[in-house]
Structure formats: C-alpha cells, structure tokens
Structure 1
C-alpha cells in the first residue's frame, strides 16, 4: 500500500486536474458539435481542447475507487458520512438553479404558489431536469450505494481478478452501446468499472519503470479520440461524439494513462492553490455551470485558443470564491459543497 501522506498529495493533484478538466469540457462544448459549419481552425482548436480534458469524469470515479474501496466501514456509517457531504449541497444548488431558471428565463416562478413550486421542484429532482451537469451527482450517489458491498469483494481479489472485473464491466458497456438507444446503459452501470480499476491502480505498487506504458496509453487514447472523431464525423458528414464517451475504450486508455502519470510524479508539497481547488472541487463542480453562463467568453468574438482558457480561469476563480465565501457562513459548509 502507498503511504497515507503520499496518497493524498497525488490524489489532490488529480482532483484539481479533473475539476479543471470538467470546466474546460463545458467551456469548449459548443464548438465540436459545429463540425463542418465553422472555420476549420476554430473547430480543430475546440476539438483538441475538449479531447485534452476528457479524462475528467473517469479520473473522478477512479479516485473514489482508489480512496474509498481500500478501507472497511459499516454501510450505514459510510452512507451517513458520504451522503451528507453530497446530498445537502446538491439540494441547495439544485434549488438555486431551479429558482433562477423559473424566475429569470421563463418568469413562471411569480405565477406559482409555494406548493406548486415544491411539487415542480420534486419532479425536477426525480427527472434530473434542472441542469445538464447534475447527471454526475446522480451517478456518483448510485456508485456510493455500491461501495460498501463492492469494497468487501475487491479487497479480497487479486490484481488479475480486479482487472478482469473492470474489463467485464467495460466490455458489457461496449456491447450494449452497439445496440444504440435500444439498449441504453444506466450511468451507474456505465461507470462502475472505474471503481475497481481505480482501486487497483491507486493502491498497487508496480515494479520497474512503468512510465513509458502510462505515457503510451495516454497519448494513444488522446490521438484515437482526436483523429477518430474527425474521421468518423467526416464519413457521416456531421459531428459524431461516439469516441467522446467517458466509458469508450479510447477515453479509458487516456484516463488510465493520466491517472498513473499523476500518481507516479514526485509532487513534493502541494501548492496552496491546488489544495484549495481540491478541497472545494465538489462545490466548484456544482456552481460552475451557473458561473459559466455569466462569464463565458464567446469564441465568436475571440479565437477559442484564447477564449476557452480565459473562460476556464475566470470560472474557476469566481466559482472558488463563491464556494469559499459560502462555506465561511454559519452552517455554510453543509450546503456549499
């Protein structure tokens, strides 16, 4: 097992990179879908930046596997600790997003009674229709339900058995995707393979210099995503996002490579900025879409090579300030995230 202090340093750095990756994906998201409709240089810039950040969600899930599956805890204790950290901030920010949508976008809020709004809010929560990025919260809550049971199994399994379990999960997803919408895989099942994989990669000591392998996986996965998406889209004469999927084989390769490259870097002591972002990453995730809606720079006015990075920096800064300020209020830590 890796040392406790070392574990948290590389994990913090990865968590920081992952949340920056999420903001980057959402800052660049509008460009790749315009394949064939905008200037080639603009499309390629957005496409490359988006592909660079595609490790974000798999890395978040693998970190959960690496850090949460390794220790035993009673299911009720685990659920109480973890869900209190997830659910209360999620409900708070869901309420904020819902109120703003109804008050500003549609104006319906002012025509509704409190009971009508609460009924609508409940339906929005059940249907996951409040904001596009909340899918991740529903998914991670589903995975957390599995962790106490899954942990008992994986801690007894050998390395090859863990890789086999992860492989079966991803093969199942790949086969199901061949049927398209006719066999839609729930997000919890789509990403569950990353949990045992993260446990294996995050806690195993590999012999010899494995960095060339991790670099090969990262570069190969990235290039397959970049070139493959362009080629498939060219064949279909429209944008095809099939290789963008977080559970696709190419993104799996890319994410494993990034995960292990970060794990094997000698980071030393983490910077204050990285520690801050890692600590408040969940809150930043919850609020960043709201922040982007207000400060995102238009790539119509400025080249995306400039507008996307600036949007990411501004969004991270503003979101971090919002979450930190909220956490300093009385009981704010329970709702800030």
Structure 2
C-alpha cells in the first residue's frame, strides 16, 4: 500500500476512473427512482429482470461515499475551520437551491405540508443523502487523523470491525446486547474508509487477475442481493448497510480501478465518450437533486411501456444533467448548481 504516513496533496489533474465511477454512480441512483416507468410486470422473468435493474442502482450511494474517502483521506488539513467551510459550502448551497425547487414543485402538485417537511429531512426522498454527507464531513477530520496515524493496520482494524457489524445488520441481529455499543464503527462511515483502502492497496496479484476478481465479485454479490430481495426481503431491510452491497461496491471499485491500470480507458478518455463521462461526473451532485424534479415531472407523462422505458430513462438522465449544467453557466448561480 502507498505510504499512509506521508502527507499527500490533492492532485490537480483528474483521475479518470474516479470520474467513471462517479458517472456510473449518478446513473445508478437514477435507476433506483425510475421503476414506475416500466410497463406492467406480468411474469416472474420480468419481475426478476426489473429487480436486477433496480438493485444495480443500489451501488450508487456506496460508490459516492467510497470516492469521497479515496479523495479526502490521508490529506493535510492544517486549518479545521477552513476544511469544514470548504466542504460544507460545496454541499449546502446547492442543497438549499435545489430543495427550494423540489419543495415548490411538490407544493404545486398539491402535496401536504407534512409530506413536504419529511422530504426536506430526507424521510421519503433522496434528500436523506445530504444529511448523511453532513455527518460524514463532520467526522472526516477524525477519520483522516486516524488514517494518518495508524496507516494500513488502522484501516484493517476499522474495516474488520465495520464488516462484522454489517454482517449483524444484514441479518437484523445488531445490537446483540443493548450495552455492546459499536455504533462508532457502524453505518455509512465505513464506506469512505473502504474506498480509500481499495484505492491505495497494492495487491500481490496481477492487474488482470484483480480486474477479473472485481468483476466476478460484482456479479456474484449482485446475484445474491437480487435473490435475497426476491425470496427473503426481510433479511436485508437496510438497503445500503449489508454485506451484498459492500461486496457489490467493492467489486465495481476494484474492477474499474484495474481497468484503468490496464489502460482500457485510454481509447475513450479524450473523445466524446470520455468527455461525456467527465461531464456527468462533474454534474453528479447537481444531478442528484435535479433528477427528482425531472422524474416527478415526467411521471405525469409516463407511457407505462417496456418499449418506451429506454427512451424515458435516457430522457431523465439527459434532462437531469442539462439542468445543473446550464445553471453552472449563469453568473452568480454556479455556486448553487452543484458543480
């Protein structure tokens, strides 16, 4: 693993595989919110296909958090106040802007005040992720000091306990005893640590084998997750805090990282595809909010057709990207766009 006790500075150049993962993650998040654009599901095959598509979307949030850890941990932050100010400014201003638009849209469509308030605090909507980020950023300086102080052994220690807790959570067995409090290791905070570890760990096998291992891990864990959802949904009530999701996110992260190390992205980095991936990555936080507006609007024009679903899905992605992209070009508004 790279020297964890060496103060590294953020690089100015973009890391393409992070952009690829972030672009995939925002598309995955949108996947989770477009189920109702399918036509009627009339058979087991269609139900499993739709469930598989939906469950692929569950990778999005873990990947976002893993990238945050890979980029923000083991850094030198001499001024804690400046760090918090910078991180919070990047997420709070866009949240205020987009949540006003989201709540105005819901008011226009006649939703009651209780529902609208719950949307704001993240109960029935995707805005819960914003509040998760607040908690992560408040805790990040402590995690950063821990990583810098204890290096790889500290990472393994933290991840081992976190993994054990996720096993318990997967089967709804946490806590085992009321006073056995391991909450500091629980929840979403493990994903940034995991992301940093996987981004910097040098495994003692070839890049090609690691790439294959990541892809196989992704496929197997996705299959397990779909199976559990279909046959035993009560076993995995915490959709982002369970073992299959951890392996899905880890498998995808490793797969994409080693594709990059094998130079598989070189042919697309500088062409239209590569530029589109980078643009989706840059716009991803704004898209996280804008797609709520787009999905709600287009739901009133839903054809409920399997054949039309690809068109609707592509339209949602494009419009969700277009809104923050256009806003980022307007003077004095860019700070609110999410870019």
Matched, 1:247 2:241: yes
The answer to whether the 8 A contact 1:69-1:154 is kept is yes
Contiguous gaps of at least 5 residues in structure 2: 3-7
TM-score (norm 2): 0.80
Matched, 1:141 2:134: yes
Give per-residue Cα distances to partners, 1:276-310, cap 9 Å, x unaligned: 1011100001110110112259887312xx44443
CA distance in 2: counterparts of 1:126 and 1:156, whole angstroms: 38
Deviation of 1:189 after TM superposition, in Å, equals 4.4
Matched, 1:21 2:25: no
CA shift in 2, pair 1:188/1:158, >3 Å: closer
Return the match for 2:149 from 147, 156, 167.
156
CA shift in 2, pair 1:291/1:70, >3 Å: same
Give per-residue Cα distances to partners, 1:175-208, cap 9 Å, x unaligned: 356258999x999941111111111111223332
Alignment partner, residue 111 of structure 1:
none
Contiguous gaps of at least 5 residues in structure 1: 109-119, 234-239
Matched, 1:48 2:52: yes
Higher helix share: 1
CA distance in 1: counterparts of 2:318 and 2:149, whole angstroms: 43
CA shift in 2, pair 1:106/1:295, >3 Å: closer
Give per-residue Cα distances to partners, 1:309-331, cap 9 Å, x unaligned: 43331111111111111111121
Q: Give the aligned CA root-mean-square deviation in angstroms.
A: 3.4
Deviation of 1:334 after TM superposition, in Å, equals 1.1
Return the match for 2:255 from 243, 254, 261.
261
Summarize the alignment of residues 154-193 of structure 1 with structure 2, pairs less than 5 Å apart: 154-176=147-169, 178-179=172-173, 189-193=186-190
Alignment partner, residue 330 of structure 1:
331
Deviation of 1:159 after TM superposition, in Å, equals 2.7
Deviation of 1:255 after TM superposition, in Å, equals 0.8
Alignment partner, residue 71 of structure 2:
67
Alignment partner, residue 279 of structure 1:
282
CA distance in 1: counterparts of 2:30 and 2:132, whole angstroms: 18
CA distance in 2: counterparts of 1:300 and 1:186, whole angstroms: 45
The answer to whether the 8 A contact 2:99-2:120 is kept is no
Alignment partner, residue 58 of structure 1:
62
Give per-residue Cα distances to partners, 1:44-66, cap 9 Å, x unaligned: 22111112222111111100000
The answer to whether the 8 A contact 2:211-2:256 is kept is no
Deviation of 1:226 after TM superposition, in Å, equals 1.8
Alignment partner, residue 318 of structure 2:
317
